[in-house]
Structure 1
Amino acid sequence: MKMQKEDFAAILKAMNGLPVTIRLLDPPLHEFLPNLGDLRVEVAELKHRGASSEELAVKEELLANVRTLSEANPMLGLRGCRLGITRPDIYQMQVRAIFEAACDVVEEGYEPVVEVMIPLVGIDKELALLKESTEKVIHQVFEERGIRIGYKIGTMIELPRAALTADEIAKHAEFFSFGTNDLTQTTFGFSRDDAEGKFIPEYVELGILEKNPFEVLDTEGVGKLIDMAVKLSRQVRPDIKLGVCGEHGGEPKSIKFCHQVGLTYVSCSPFRVPLARLAAAQAVVEEEREVFIDK
């Protein structure tokens, strides 16, 4: 927790007075564990050289745990909010680190603005449960430190079901961030890592796809889900903060679409920020020109 707390404090200081959205742990647990193949080799070598039963037992137990947690397709596995629900101590640790860091920087004269993002929500009850446990830890920290700061709790919309049930999820969320990279994966059934170099270029060449959907947002499919989620969520919570994160947030055509459906911000890689600002400004100017012409 100490390392995370230090990292969060540094970020909050650097962004003094500006909102900082911190996404809770998302990757599957096996990404933090030793490689399965390497462990198998180690166990075989230990047996070959006649290692002690104690040494072998420790390594075999680790191997068994890694094998249990290994997943061929992590988008369908134990990650995101599923991890936070089944192993609540992980998210509780992260939330405590975030708000202890926030209290530390308040005492140093800074003004942190914290937004906690719960990833991979697909069912409203997932967010309701995790919001409750998150706020419990937050208020424990506030009581211990005698400090209160404002905060928001929201989620990333990266599953089709989340977009389709956005009105239910919005009851528990103060903001949505559309994770368009993963939403594209889960909508198409494409793996970004596998598809780009294998068949997407051929699909574009054959005219099946107009553009690589991981580079330019698929407005006909993924875009319809986003548009639906925007409308549904604002029916329940008119002031909900809505944005997009991922590489689409720095692509001009995608930014124009985000503006048209009513998103309030885009997030992108640092090197894409100038292009994103220009594209956002052009989208506004173009809209105002169309309104002027219509009048």
Structure 2
Amino acid sequence: MRSKLTLFFSLFFNVCLVFAQANNYYPDILTVYFLQMATVNPGYVPSEGIADFNAGYKFRTGAFKEISTFSFSGARILRTQNLNSHVIRIMLNNEQQGPYINTPRAYGNYAYELKTGENSSLYAGAALGVAGVYYSATSATASVLLPDGSLGIGAKLGAVSLGISSLQIFNSKASPIVAQFRLGRYYQSNLTLEKELGANWNLRGHVLYRLFPENKDELNIGASLLYSETLLLGSMYRNLYGLGLIAGFYFDSGKDKLLLSFTYNSSVLSRAPVLQNSMEISLGFRVN
């Protein structure tokens, strides 16, 4: 059985490499990307705290259980007397695309936010690092390490935040076995809105549009309700993947804050030809 699996993934990888001559590689994101905004816009600056740490893990079930995504970011926020902010951040990511294929990434990130008014600001940032592809099976072994980076800018006005970013900016490419593997440049725009509904309720809206030059574009649109800064409930629709249901819990020590969230991604409303349900666990910690 293992030899058959090895043969299958060897053939699968080689087919992917052949098609990579015409199709770029674009990474997946977490459904709760808005809890790790730096992964979609390297210019993101947290509005609170002096440091924050975020980790997320997505895993699938059934026939796709060998596929998973892990991400981590850790940031130090330095605020000046005039309320401008500097952020120094590290970001790590890995996609496990079956038992033999890994695509790890590591970046250093700097972001800056300039206050332009009492309730307005501009921000910008850049991330530089490396992205790798590692393939190992009994029939073949290959590894590639490529330079990678991203740029992002945005603006905040009251409870509205709008940003745009360009990722995989170097269009890095290599030929690990028989064909070209390329990290094709793509673009994203993100919008976040927040509205107070009462003394204890806040409504947040999230929109992320991912523009892929050679693939079908992806739209993520959702909303979440926050009760008393303690309970988070929401949903996110992704046109290429389906509907995600989100639940999160905040634990406040009086100084620092911990967030634990769970997401179930269903193929309901998905255009995918097969069911690809998945689950996510996210953990965030903010130091005030």
Q: Same fold (TM over 0.5)?
A: no
TM-score, normalisation: structure 1: 0.31
Q: Which has the higher strand share?
A: 2
TM-score, structure 2 as length reference: 0.31
Greater share of residues in helix: 1
The structure whose Rg is larger is 1
